Every structure is written in C-alpha cells, then in structure tokens.
Amino acid sequence: MTIDLDLTPSATDAAAASSPDAATAAPRERRHAVAGLYNLRDTGGYRAAGGTSRWGKLLRSDALHRIDATGRDRLAEIGVAHIIDLRGGDERATAPSAVDGLEVTVHHLPVFDDADPAAQATTHVGLVPVYDHIVDERGAQLVDAIRVIIAADDDDAVLVHCTAGKDRTGLVVAFALAAAGVDRDDVVADYAATA
C-alpha cells in the first residue's frame, strides 16, 4: 500500500529534498507557532520516491485543549480540515479539545482503551512492548487513521495528535510517511524530533 501525500515537487520542496539532510534542513519551518500548542510540526519536505512530501498536508501535535481563538484561527489558516485524536475517552474528558468554532472533522481513533493496561505501561515495561501491543491490538485504529489521511482532499491538512504528540502520534505519522515512500532516515528523524 502506498499513500499519496502529493509528492509533486515544487521548487521549494525540490531544494529541500536536495539538501544533505531534509529532515533537519529547516526545523523552524517545520514547526508552526500556535498559541496553546508546543509541538505542532509539518511533515512536508521529506524526500520520497518521486519527489518530497507536500508541506501543509500532514501535521502532528500535542493535545488541543489549551488553544484559544487565536490558535483556532491559526489552525484554520494552515488549512486543518481533519483532526485525528488518538486519545482515549478518559483523556478527552479530562482535557477536551478546544476546537469549537473550527470547521473540522474530528476522528476519535483511540489507540488505547480507557481500561487498557498498556496505556499505563510505558514507564514500567518500556516502549517496545507498548508499540507491539498497539500494532497487535489496535491495528484497526492505525489503519483508520491512515485512511483518513489518504481520503483528505488535496487542499485539506490532516492534524494527528494524542496527549503529548510523541508516541501514539509518532507511530501513526511514521506509518503514513513510510507508506508514502519517505526515506527511512527522515521517518526516524521526524519521530525522534519529539522523543
């Protein structure tokens, strides 16, 4: 399976792709300043077969409960039309996304059930067993997230988030970038930028 992240190279994207390290060539451009978010990043500009991943198509962030009207306006300017929320119901109830008034479709695709012991296990058993659990037990949610990304209109940005925008978000974004043919080193660098 391949994912079309619109790998048509623009002049800017072509210049970024020809740099020795596209993953770190423009880290400030990759980050978006949005009030209430500390980890909003664009996955555009990564080398892939046939070009580079398109800027403004796939974004990743931490939870959206701290954004205000200015933050919502900025997300609208960026073009966010779909939000994939990977948090469980308890997490969403504790810190509900502040997206009222933003014209988006929110897709709740929890990677952990509220009672799922794997959600609490990262500090006790490490991340590898947790990732194995996610892939083995919550693969349907991962596939659904990728389907949302694939189905989004060309002009629509998709924002993927969990609580911190690290592990669950990183896994979904890594799968999407890998499926789009993004260079493995860039997939790893994107994931590690939040670790």
Catalytic residues: 162
- Spell 171-189 as b/e; 16+ CB within 10 A means b: bbbbbbbbbbbbbeebbeb
Query: Where do we find the tokens 């799968």?
Result: 175
Q: Is 181 left (phi over 0), alpha (psi -120 to 50) or beta?
A: left
DSSP state of 75: H
Element (H, E) at 160: strand 157-161
Using alpha carbons, select from 41, 40, 43, 47 the residue that is nearest to residue 16. Answer: 47
> Cα–Cα distance between 136 and 14 in angstroms, integer?
37
Amino acid (one-letter) located at 179: A
Within 8 A by CB and 6+ apart from 114, the residues are 88, 89, 90
- Cα 29 to chain centroid, rounded: 16
What six digits make up the tokens of 147?
Answer: 């389907």
